[in-house]
């Protein structure tokens, strides 16, 4: 099952604005013969974003997802990012 337009729009809302981007993987283009368990496995989607200022974009993303980053990386990992 490939991504629908509404799925793409919802996914892109999770990120700061981009100038250009594309996605690839079994979740983007349905692949013949590829089967997965819809409960425990999902198709893979890889995203490539092009932005004018990667540091500015990353800070915006980080501030939007700060709580998740703190939980996943720990406070020390975040501090090291800015040093």
pLDDT digits (tens, 9 = 90+) for 37-83: 666 677 778 899 999 999 999 989 888 887 776 776 665 555 565 55
Is the pLDDT reported for residue 10 higher than 70? yes
Residue 75 sits in which domain range? Answer: 53-83
Whether residues 13 and 45 fall in one domain: yes
| 3-state SS, residue 33 | coil
Shared domain for 41 and 57, answered yes or no, is: no
State residue 8's pLDDT score: 79
Mean pLDDT of 26-32: 74
7 and 39: one domain? Answer: yes
Whether pTM exceeds 0.75:
no
| Same domain? 22 vs 38 | yes
Residues 20 and 37 in one domain: yes
Q: How many domains does the chain have?
A: 2
CB-based burial of residue 47 (10 Å sphere; 0-12 exposed, 13-18 middle, 19+ buried)?
A: middle
Q: How would residue 7 be classed by pLDDT, with cut points 50, 70 and 90? A: confident
Q: Flag whether pLDDT at 1 surpasses 80.
A: no
């Amino acid at each position: 099952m490939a991504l629908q337009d509404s799925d793409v729009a919802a996914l892109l809302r999770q990120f700061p604005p981009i100038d250009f981007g594309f996605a690839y993987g079994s979740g983007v283009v349905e692949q013949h013969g590829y089967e997965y368990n819809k409960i425990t496995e999902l198709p893979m989607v890889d995203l490539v974003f092009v932005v004018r200022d990667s540091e500015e974009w990353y800070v915006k993303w980080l501030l939007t997802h700060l709580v998740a980053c703190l939980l996943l990386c720990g406070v020390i990992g975040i501090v090291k990012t800015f040093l």
